[in-house]
Amino acid sequence: MARPKPVAQDRGRGLGRRKFLTFLVAAPTLTVAAKWGLDGFAPATAVPSLPSLADVGDLGDALIIGIKPTSHLMVLEITEDNRMRFELPRVEVGQGITTSMAMIVAEELDARLGDVDIQLSDSRPELQFNQFTAASTGVRVLWEPVRQMAADARARLVAAAAKRWDVPAGQLTTRDSHVWAPDGRSLSYGSLSADAREESAAGAEPKESSEFKVIGKPTTRLDAYNIVTGKALYTMDLPIEGALPTVVARPPTIKGTVASVDDQEAKAMPGVVAVTRIPSGIAVSAETFYDALRARDALKITWHAGPNDNLSDSDIRSQLKGTVEPLAAPKVRDSYLDVTFDFAFVNHAPMEVENAIAHVRDGKADVWMPSQAPIYAQQTIAEAVGLPEEAVRVHVNRAGGSFGRKLFLDAGLEAARVSRVIGRPVKLMWTRQDDMKHGRMRPRSHHTIRASYTAGEVMSFEHRMAGVVVDFTHGLGEALTSNTDDPNEFPSAIYFNMSQANPYNLGLAQQSMKDLILKIPTGSWRSVYSGVMRTAEEVVMDELAERMGEDAITFRKRMVKANSGKAVLAKAAEAANWGRGMPSGHAQGVGYHSEYRSHVACIVELDASDHPHVTKAVLVADVGQVVNPRGLEAQMLGSTMDGIATALRAGVHIDNGAVRESSYGDFLWTKHHDAKFEFEFHSISTTWEPGGAGELAVPAVCAAVANAYARATGTRPRSFPISF
């Protein structure tokens, strides 16, 4: 496809096309697998490493290379009944990856979209790095290998038809899951599949973007029908025979432990089958969740304190202030800004609480769970229940939201532990209160920024962050550190360095992050460090522009490194009618962000009177080649709500080692009344290879809301969420 010349930060977009070979796997019907490189790769035997991040760019780039040795293990099968079945080594969490992948397969195969089945793959350790759903890399990383697989399959099917009809392959065409002869005869792919196994795909090439018929067309999610009819099955909906509803009594403070338990009364209650002690608390298994919950409440437990019982938010904030690296840049006389920011803990709070089904018996285990890192889940569960890794199967199921939460296997591990003890299949669910009080969070962070300027130029921009450490122990973190020689290198530091880049030319620009190690459950939260780092920077950009007497968008356009950045800002200004008169108490605000080889600008209008709320949101993104514009817009919409929530109201307090919030009643996520705004999304269409999009807009929207709030109220937001 056409590749524009990269400039500045556009570099890395549209890497040259790699050459692929494919080979056939023995199977009754055509089963294609992709393979890279002319000489192939031997299966890795040593601990696998991702390429050094310094050499590539970001995690997406690392994964593009990191999955090469194993990509030939992905499976695309053409079945005799003319279905195109692709086993997707990712999880659907609502981001629309199944629809995007089906579109890519349909495009390159010339199959009907309705004939493509995407099945979420069970855990397959041999896939190594190719079974993480993380960092907005799904489409970006699978784009080339999946297109190549499908193009190969199509070439083989054409070759089989050519033989069957004795017509030169060059005269045949493909559409609607059939091969067509010049005289109008057709053969379905299914009927050619067995023969196609013998054919070669030599020279098959994916299409040029100008030939796309499916990719780039707004397409409704393939699971939309199942969603609206209640047929979409989440893990707790799976009819696993005999699986016992199970809940866990948890400590009053984070990571408290059981001192003693009296379970007599609980055990005697109706429906109760077993009471099991596990490291995180006391599990009750019963015939229904109602029985299990009632019996849980009847347990008499005394608890040991947790490791944070002397800690509250103010203590954590002081510790973070003591952790952050001191500002070092010289202050230019009167022409500098010194600013600090604080961001509260934020729960992931997906609608589907943590849950998993596990059946451990006869030397093997099956676990059903929504998992972004199923290989790691398999290995960890195997170790916990004392089984060899091969004896454990993790069946990946669709998730009811994730936002990073399902990288971990908290419930899967608990379910497996209980099942091993009681010898029955266990259907374990956290309550909403469990998830809020013991769930994972985006960590609290503290930031200091010094920016100095003179004569219309920014001389330096120094940004120091300290955050409670993000837990990266979900497999990806281990992969990130496996190629560093420095044993002290934390995956958090590596992830920070590879994900953070100031997208502007701001003279001497520095960013750093220090971890504060606390035993508080944390995890990557949609956009990870960028959600806080880039929000803080964008607020400072507005204040710098004001100091320098320049319009906030003109200033950004002048400073931004990438041409794509200028373009999204310009388009947003035009679409949102930037600078239009606003009533008092209302204001516009802008935010921009670039990551994952993509760019986004957001302009919101906010009414700050009374209950501050957004009245209009305009987003403009350039994410390279768009697979499904409708899905892209959905991701932008979701990120908009995340940006609004984290800017204005959603945060979690810690009081003496316990989370204060307990449900959506006090953890103030957005609701319908926060979404009264007009929403407009524009995608600047480019033919760069796809960048990441799922998390892209969160920092830009959060910043735009903060900047609008600042203008509307004449205040300087320094602590987020603004009302907390």
Give the shortest CB-385-to-another protein separation in angstroms: 23
Q: Helix or strand or coil: residue 426?
A: strand
Question: Considering beta carbons, is residue 435 or 471 the nearer one to ligand FES?
Answer: 435
**Distance in angstroms (rounded) separating the CA atoms of residues 567 and 273:** 62
564 burial type by CB count under 10 A (0-12 exposed, 13-18 middle, 19+ buried): buried
Site for ligand FES in 379-408 (CB under 6 A): 401
Residue from 698, 722, 568, 582 nearest 640 by CA: 698
Torsion (CA) 529, 591, 652, 248 in degrees, nearest 10: -60
* Binding-site partner at residue 230 among another protein, ligand FES, none, CB < 5 to 8 Å by type: another protein
Give the shortest CB-187-to-another protein separation in angstroms: 17
* Binding-site partner at residue 399 among ligand FES, another protein, none, CB < 5 to 8 Å by type: another protein
Torsion (CA) 47, 513, 7, 639 in degrees, nearest 10: 90
The verdict on 351 binding ligand FES (CB under 6 A) reads: yes
Give the shortest CB-635-to-ligand FES separation in angstroms: 12
Count of residues touching ligand FES (by CB under 6 A): 3
The contact pattern for ligand FES, residues 93-112, with x = CB under 6 A and - = no contact, is -x------------------
Give the shortest CB-666-to-ligand FES separation in angstroms: 14
Question: Considering beta carbons, is residue 94 or 251 the nearer one to ligand FES?
Answer: 94
Question: Considering beta carbons, is residue 396 or 705 the nearer one to another protein?
Answer: 396
Question: Considering beta carbons, is residue 505 or 687 the nearer one to another protein?
Answer: 687
Question: Considering beta carbons, is residue 252 or 401 the nearer one to ligand FES?
Answer: 401
378 Cβ contact partners less than 8 Å away, ≥ 6 residues apart: 123, 125, 367, 389, 392, 393, 394
* Binding-site partner at residue 107 among ligand FES, another protein, none, CB < 5 to 8 Å by type: none
Give the shortest CB-400-to-ligand FES separation in angstroms: 6
Give the shortest CB-49-to-another protein separation in angstroms: 31
* Binding-site partner at residue 675 among ligand FES, another protein, none, CB < 5 to 8 Å by type: another protein
Question: Considering beta carbons, is residue 460 or 564 the nearer one to another protein?
Answer: 564
Give the shortest CB-650-to-another protein separation in angstroms: 10
Question: Considering beta carbons, is residue 217 or 317 the nearer one to another protein?
Answer: 217
Give the Å distances, CA to CA, from 692 to 13, 21, 344, 387, 598.
11, 26, 26, 37, 6
* Binding-site partner at residue 677 among another protein, ligand FES, none, CB < 5 to 8 Å by type: another protein
**Distance in angstroms (rounded) separating the CA atoms of residues 404 and 468:** 17
**Distance in angstroms (rounded) separating the CA atoms of residues 56 and 62:** 6
433 burial type by CB count under 10 A (0-12 exposed, 13-18 middle, 19+ buried): middle
CA angle 190, 194, 197 (to 5 degrees): 120
Question: Considering beta carbons, is residue 232 or 459 the nearer one to ligand FES?
Answer: 232
Give the shortest CB-298-to-ligand FES separation in angstroms: 22
- Counted residue by residue, the chain has a size of 724
| Pair of tokens at residue 667 | 């953890």
Distance, C-alpha 334 to centroid of its chain: 42
* Contact (Cβ atoms closer than 8 angstroms) between residue 179 and residue 187: yes
426 burial type by CB count under 10 A (0-12 exposed, 13-18 middle, 19+ buried): buried
* Binding-site partner at residue 580 among ligand FES, another protein, none, CB < 5 to 8 Å by type: none
The verdict on 631 binding ligand FES (CB under 6 A) reads: no
- Give the binding site for ligand FES (CB under 6 A): 94, 351, 401
